């Protein structure tokens, strides 16, 4: 598995022959530098998903992500954001991994809550967000 220093699959794929045993590990973030907010994050996830799939020469996997947005986080938006990523990356890539299972930090975020409310996957399991993808935007 190869994490390409945030240059993406399109940059690295031409360098390797198709016979190389390789999976590209892609990281997608919405909490900095993209003006992501609850009203546009699902669209950004979809754009990232299509781009993450790459040229098809190698499988891709989203090896790190979270649901915190840069602007105006709301606790009520977490389920939709999480579930959209689960659906999208399962459909277009080899899946995804949330960046952390347990996070207890109390740094503030723009909007409601603290980072722990957006980075702790155990919370999403406890709230039932992982049992259904009914909140997800279809891609």
45-82 pLDDT tens trace: 999 888 887 888 988 888 888 899 999 999 999 999 99
24: part of which helix (H) or strand (E)? strand 24-27
Question: Are the C-beta atoms of residues 105 and 116 closer than 8 Å to each other?
Answer: yes
Q: Using one digit for the tens of pLDDT, what is the confidence trace for 112-122?
A: 999 999 999 99
pLDDT in tens, 11-44: 899 999 999 999 988 888 899 889 999 999 999 9
Q: Distance between CA atoms of 103 and 15, rounded to whole angstroms?
A: 37
**N- to C-terminal Cα distance for the chain?**
26
- Global pTM value: 0.86
């Amino acid at each position: 598995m190869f994490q390409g220093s945030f240059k993406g699959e399109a940059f690295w794929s031409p360098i390797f022959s198709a016979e190389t045993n390789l999976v590209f590990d892609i990281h997608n973030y919405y909490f900095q530098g993209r003006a992501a907010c609850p009203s546009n994050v699902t669209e950004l996830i979809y754009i990232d998903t299509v781009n993450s799939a790459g040229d098809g020469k190698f499988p891709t996997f989203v090896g790190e992500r979270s649901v915190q947005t840069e602007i105006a986080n709301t606790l009520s938006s977490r389920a939709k954001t999480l579930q959209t990523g689960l659906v999208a990356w399962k459909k277009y890539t080899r899946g995804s991994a949330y960046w952390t299972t347990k996070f207890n930090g109390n740094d503030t975020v723009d909007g409601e809550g603290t980072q722990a409310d957006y980075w702790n996957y155990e919370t999403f399991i406890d709230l039932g967000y992982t049992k259904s993808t009914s909140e997800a935007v279809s891609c």
